Structure 1
């Protein structure tokens, strides 16, 4: 598509639309009208079109005020609260897609919610690490009355470790007074008893236990929520790009409708003069008035579409406080950028790169890793519990002879639930959950491939439609030009002129919409490949 043709067509056919039919206000009357009457009565010459001046024509923009017969519609239009956004005005700083994406990154509540979810995952990780916190235990007992009066104090510090489930502990206790024979172990020397010990599981909870599994899963969850946040960002970028280009399309189509009305208004003034002079039949003026009303109605519809697009865009475009920001017509670009023809690519390489970049796939891989950890833990729980414990103790100070020597002891504990239903049920559930995640992972990979292929297909189709729409617009211009010349020579009628005008406007609108689909498809492809929406130069 040639850049010159694209720039003219993407400017919505503005100059040629008015040049083609605006001259009817001063059109040559039918054969037989004296030349001197032409010069005196035809009215002002056809205006030369200036896009900037046209956009500031208040009569064209707000026909409700310029036309006394439609004045009652003015307060109705203003009741929407959005009439200022659609008012034709001088173009200011163009709103770019990059600005929308930047606002999305900084202020979108959905991304903020994703950030909070990641913070919650970090809190869960911190909580899981608490399984290895040191524990201080204290116990005291005083029995002042009774046959055996005594007191006992016990202080103990326990420290679990991630080393094969190893746990260490140390403590001090003192027991003084009279103890029954069966409580003799509570008695200590006068300075109390220092003791320390270790315990280690040999099978169950040795290679992995619940605490270590929770920590690993929580650490993965932090990474997974980060990937989910990135995936949400890509999803919102695609939607923001679609909303932005829909806003651009709606605004430029509104320009087309206003220019179409301007044509009818320019012609209406000239026709009224010619009807007053008897050069035209009165019914032609009535028909042109009907065209004016029809085009005013089209403007109302186009205004509504632009307002709806601005509202949809405001969910992504936000101010510094995070409040939705309505983008008015003053921020519209003059035209679409020229589209670039899609190039042939190595599809397999692009699919492989997309699989590496897509954060939603990374999140599914994280889920699978969590399921693998759960399966390892459940498999370990089927083993019998064999715990080895050992400790050493030494009483301090004077006391009974049997309390003064150093004590060393070791214990082996065995626990084996015979049916193992709990452990077997946990293993069955973990294995099924891993198989479920594997199925989801296969689908996620398939979805990435389909997303990329579909985006390429949509982009290729959108470019072709834009190219064909450009050619159609050029032909519509040629037909409208020919019909105008017939009308000027008295060989045509206003109905055919109107049809050709509408065809030009429709062709211009079709091209704008085709270009909107092209740039939306391009953004979708960038998201599908995991790159994120790239900035587009627009003015």
Structure 2
């Protein structure tokens, strides 16, 4: 029993130590259940951190960084050591050699240093193996003066890996912009669906409230019984509309959950009581729009689509440079200085002193068909990319103007819809008073109510179109703040 009690005590202590974190997690996941309004910034701050596509591009950035680091490895310092000893035969020579080699990027340079020492005797054809007693030290440098001077296979890999990092960063930016744009569209779609449901429910409540009044009037003989049937039909029709709106809200909520996530990245199903009212929605400060000639070049330079093309262009230019390098002859220069130290050994006095050695190697390829083909391919790719860049810039300019036009028209329609709502409400209230006094009939009252509801629905649709157009414009013009991003994200 003591063992069981001790075990249970340990379990309780462990739970006490971790339960606050679980409580905090549950609180963070259920804030929306407590009626707190879900605002756009809440969704954007969650989607930019936890949306799987963004996390995927971040992982791809790390992959590209790993490839770049691997490419740098071709220029690492290399230590080598070799030893050789004759175990039998007439000669008993033994050698040991150690050295460091470091490749440099300019001029395809290679600097090296080494030390070697020998003991015993060597055959005549291995005469250069002899050193003095303390060995021979050397230092040298090798340079490429023509082929491989500016670029070679390893430096081409290094350039390609660096451009791969840039490409991954561009893909990540494109993903962030696309995700945040979609998140904004999903959020306002959810808000609009909630308002539409509210409008239909209010319309239904009016008909249901009128039913009891009509029943009383029919009992008193003030109204014909057909009014009850007609109003019941209106109730049924409005119940159908409310049910359809409820379904639309649930679908919009499901779409929103892809972007609204908790700290573990799990989608959250927002509740209806977290829908913000008009007073809780903060309108962004109006931005002054520049003209097309002012914005197009500046925005196009920042657009990731153009950046991606320019990155591909840099790759093609590097490939062209590599192809032209293969067409050149090779002229390599090498300089080495060496000196033996210590007493003169078996090799004799000819090993003593400082040696300065200069070497040149020249080779010239013939034919070079492969290199010429690579050059023509790279030139054609550059021409194609330049045309793609031109078209992309023109498409961006047209896209921005069309979105701006759509946004401006949506603003006008929203303003007109607001006026229509005000006018229809006045007519609706007037018709109800006339109906109550017996000066109007049920058909006109119902018509005014549904006309007013239609006007409110038009306003909701116009407001949704306006907000979605503004989000599209923010994405097209690289207004990162409007997408819930920072300049660091760009």
What TM-score range do you get, normalising by the shorter chain?
Answer: 0.7 to 0.9
* Kept in 1: contact 2:120–2:346 (CA 8 A): no
Which stretch of structure 1 is more off in the superposition, 321-330 or 273-282? Answer: 273-282
* Kept in 2: contact 1:339–1:515 (CA 8 A): no
2:177 corresponds in structure 1 to 234
C-alpha deviation, 1:482, in angstroms = 5.0
* Kept in 2: contact 1:364–1:441 (CA 8 A): yes
* Kept in 1: contact 2:33–2:273 (CA 8 A): yes
Asked if 1:446 is matched to 2:425, the reply is no
Asked if 1:349 is matched to 2:287, the reply is no
CA distance in 1, matches of 2:268, 2:299: 33
C-alpha deviation, 1:188, in angstroms = 3.4
CA distance in 1, matches of 2:318, 2:306: 19
Judging changes above 3 Å, is the alpha-carbon distance between structure 1 residues 486 and 258 closer, same or farther for their aligned structure 2 residues?
A: same
For residues 184-263 of structure 1, what are the structure 2 equivalents within 5 Å? 184-263=127-206
Question: How many positions carry a matched residue from both structures?
Answer: 448
For residues 405-424 of structure 1, what are the structure 2 equivalents within 5 Å? 405-424=353-372
SS in 2 for 1:164: helix
* Kept in 2: contact 1:527–1:533 (CA 8 A): no
Structure number with the higher helix fraction is 2
C-alpha deviation, 1:167, in angstroms = 1.0
Judging changes above 3 Å, is the alpha-carbon distance between structure 1 residues 486 and 128 closer, same or farther for their aligned structure 2 residues?
A: same
CA distance in 2, matches of 1:420, 1:342: 59
CA distance in 2, matches of 1:535, 1:429: 40
**Which deviations, in whole Å up to 9, do the C-alpha atoms of 1:239-267 show, x marking residues without a partner?**
11111111111010011011011011101
C-alpha deviation, 1:314, in angstroms = 1.7
State the TM-score, normalized to the length of structure 1.
Answer: 0.76
2:111 corresponds in structure 1 to 168
**Which deviations, in whole Å up to 9, do the C-alpha atoms of 1:204-247 show, x marking residues without a partner?**
11123333344344344434433332232222222111111111
CA distance in 2, matches of 1:528, 1:199: 52
**Which deviations, in whole Å up to 9, do the C-alpha atoms of 1:360-412 show, x marking residues without a partner?**
32333233233323322322221111111122333343232233343332221
CA distance in 2, matches of 1:308, 1:405: 89
2:12 corresponds in structure 1 to none
C-alpha deviation, 1:157, in angstroms = 1.2
2:245 corresponds in structure 1 to 302
Point out where structure 1 has 5 or more consecutive residues left out of the alignment: 1-88
1:129 corresponds in structure 2 to 72
1:63 corresponds in structure 2 to none
1:285 corresponds in structure 2 to 228
Asked if 1:526 is matched to 2:474, the reply is yes
SS in 2 for 1:534: helix
* Kept in 2: contact 1:469–1:507 (CA 8 A): yes
1:369 corresponds in structure 2 to 314
Specify which of 238, 263, 267 is matched with residue 210 of structure 2.
267
Judging changes above 3 Å, is the alpha-carbon distance between structure 1 residues 341 and 471 closer, same or farther for their aligned structure 2 residues?
A: farther
SS in 1 for 2:73: helix
Specify which of 415, 420, 440 is matched with residue 472 of structure 1.
420
Judging changes above 3 Å, is the alpha-carbon distance between structure 1 residues 108 and 146 closer, same or farther for their aligned structure 2 residues?
A: same
Q: CA RMSD in A?
A: 2.9
Judging changes above 3 Å, is the alpha-carbon distance between structure 1 residues 207 and 104 closer, same or farther for their aligned structure 2 residues?
A: same
2:17 corresponds in structure 1 to none
Judging changes above 3 Å, is the alpha-carbon distance between structure 1 residues 338 and 121 closer, same or farther for their aligned structure 2 residues?
A: closer
State the TM-score, normalized to the length of structure 2.
Answer: 0.83
CA distance in 2, matches of 1:338, 1:201: 64
1:400 corresponds in structure 2 to 347
C-alpha deviation, 1:485, in angstroms = 4.6
Judging changes above 3 Å, is the alpha-carbon distance between structure 1 residues 479 and 90 closer, same or farther for their aligned structure 2 residues?
A: farther
Specify which of 154, 170, 174 is matched with residue 97 of structure 2.
154
**Which deviations, in whole Å up to 9, do the C-alpha atoms of 1:290-344 show, x marking residues without a partner?**
2222222211111111111112122222222222222222222223778999977
2:56 corresponds in structure 1 to 113
Higher relative contact order (CA 8 A, sep 6+): 1
C-alpha deviation, 1:483, in angstroms = 4.3
Which stretch of structure 1 is more off in the superposition, 347-356 or 128-137? Answer: 347-356
* Kept in 1: contact 2:147–2:329 (CA 8 A): yes
* Kept in 2: contact 1:97–1:535 (CA 8 A): no
SS in 2 for 1:413: strand
* Kept in 2: contact 1:353–1:529 (CA 8 A): no
Point out where structure 2 has 5 or more consecutive residues left out of the alignment: 1-31, 485-490
